[in-house]
Amino acid sequence: MSILNVEQPAVGGERIAPKLHTRVPSHATRVSLLSADGLCKSYNADKPIFSNICLDVKEGETVALIGSNGAGKSTLLKCLIGVLPNNGGEISIFGSGFSKAPSAKQAKQIRSDIGFVFQKHSLVARATALTNVVHGLLGRPGSWRGWHHALAQNTWREAALDALDSVNLAHKANERVDQLSGGQAQRVAIARALVRKPKLFIADEPAASLDPKSGHEVMQRFVDLAKKNNITLMFTSHDMQHALQYADRVIALKSGSVFLDQNSIDLTPADLKAVFDG
Ligand SMILES: Nc1ncnc2c1ncn2[C@@H]1O[C@H](COP(=O)(O)OP(=O)(O)OP(=O)(O)O)[C@@H](O)[C@H]1O
Ligand SMILES: [Mg+2]
């Protein structure tokens, strides 16, 4: 269980001071980018996954979503961005509201402002890093050319190279993704998300398949890029050290509700342990 990864002080109730925190968040003054009010979801009528979820993510904020396996983290992410319909409540994203599900037009607009990164990065293994990053621009006008970077418009190739440079992989642009390490492949996935110039990064366990060192490198780079480009980041993780070190705020799901929603600098090991107890 990854909660053991937290550097535990001798006494459970002491404050953790995550080493890499250099800022004290002051979200009260920031604009809301994504909020949910009374959100409910069930796949089957008899068993709700969660109900009455209320949360508010501010522009530029980095939020970790934690909870046990099956707590509903991935489901919540999908509902928040309208990929899955919900069963009640209101969502507001990028200043536009919907209940149940976004309209087709809204859904398209929402998708175009989001960069996605997943545990299984869903890159095209036999294509080069550059082609994969160009794929991030599919859906934009002129998309058919994006299937291979050689056909892509110069502006797309340049944007993709810039994004690869941002994750320090410009020198790997022409290498096939299946010849890269797991950490490098995940950085390509981040570049593919970044090239879209999103307002929001949605990342479901972005570092879960990586060894501890690569996992920290990927998360550090991801958060740095998000902060530098003022992109809001919401990520799920089972690694409590990642949640504390890289997120401004931690939201925990437990038993179908928000169990905890706090600035990470205010969290104790006991707070986190309670998320997974019982
Ligand atoms: N398409 C689906 N149809 C029916 N039930 C589903 C579906 N997807 C997920 N579930 C159920 O919803 C619950 C929450 O799943 P979800 O994947 O959101 O949890 P999670 O917190 O992301 O878990 P993990 O940490 O393992 O990724 C689980 O009980 C799961 O079995
Ligand atoms: Mg999940």
As a three-state string, the secondary structure of 157-220 is: HHHHHHHHHHCCCHHHCCCEHHHCCHHHHHHHHHHHHHCCCCCEEEEECCCCCCCHHHHHHHHH
- Tell how many helices (H) and how many strands (E) occur in the chain: 8, 10
Residue ranges and CATH numbers for the domains of the chain are 30-113+234-278 (3.40.50.300)
pLDDT at residue 222 is higher than 80: yes
Please give all residues whose CB falls under 5 A of ion ligand 2, grouped by chain where several chains appear. 73-74
Task: Specify the DSSP class assigned to residue 228.
Answer: H
> In sequence order, what are the residues at sequence separation of 6 or more whose Cβ sits closer than 8 angstroms to the Cβ of residue 234?
34, 57, 62, 63, 65, 77, 80, 200, 201, 202, 203
Which among 40, 47, 49, 50 is the best mutation to test ligand 1's pocket, defined by most ligand atoms within 8 Å of the CB? 49
Q: What is the pLDDT of residues 99-116, one digit of tens each?
A: 999 999 999 999 999 999
Task: Using alpha carbons, select from 278, 275, 272, 270 the residue that is nearest to residue 14.
Answer: 270
Using the atom order of ligand 1, give the atom closest to the CA of residue 67.
21
Identity of residue 190: I
What are the phi and psi torsion angles at 144 (to 5°)? -55, -25
The encoded tokens of residue 68 equal 């046990």
Q: What is the pLDDT of residues 124-180, one digit of tens each?
A: 999 999 999 999 988 665 555 555 656 667 888 899 999 999 999 999 999 999 999
- What is the distance between the alpha carbons of residues 154 and 228, in angstroms, rounded to a whole number? 25
Which among 47, 73, 240, 259 is the best mutation to test ligand 1's pocket, defined by most ligand atoms within 8 Å of the CB? 73
Residue whose structure tokens are 């869903």: 122
Instruction: Identify the residue whose C-alpha is closest to ligand 1 atom 4.
Output: 43
What are the phi and psi torsion angles at 92 (to 5°)? -125, 125
- What is the distance between the alpha carbons of residues 80 and 75, in angstroms, rounded to a whole number? 9
CB 36 within 8 A of CB 23: no
Return the minimum-mean-pLDDT range out of 54-58, 80-84, 142-146, 180-184: 142-146
> Ligand 1: distance of its center to the CA of 205 in Å?
14
What are the phi and psi torsion angles at 28 (to 5°)? -55, -30
Ligand nearest to the CA of 70: 1
Ligand 1 in reach of 65 Cβ (< 6 A): no
Report the chain's mean pLDDT, rounded to a whole number: 87
Ligand 1 in reach of 71 Cβ (< 6 A): yes
> Ligand 1: distance of its center to the CA of 174 in Å?
37
> Ligand 1: distance of its center to the CA of 79 in Å?
12
Average pLDDT over residues 47-71: 97
The encoded tokens of residue 266 equal 């205010």
What are the phi and psi torsion angles at 185 (to 5°)? -60, -40
Identity of residue 207: A
Task: Using alpha carbons, select from 42, 45, 53, 60 the residue that is nearest to residue 91.
Answer: 53
* pLDDT for 46: 78
Ligand 1 in reach of 75 Cβ (< 6 A): yes
* pLDDT for 143: 54
Q: Which residues on adjacent β-strands are paired with residue 263?
A: 249
Return the minimum-mean-pLDDT range out of 61-70, 117-126, 185-194, 237-246: 117-126
Percent of the chain whose predicted confidence (pLDDT) is above 70: 84
Average pLDDT over residues 13-23: 44
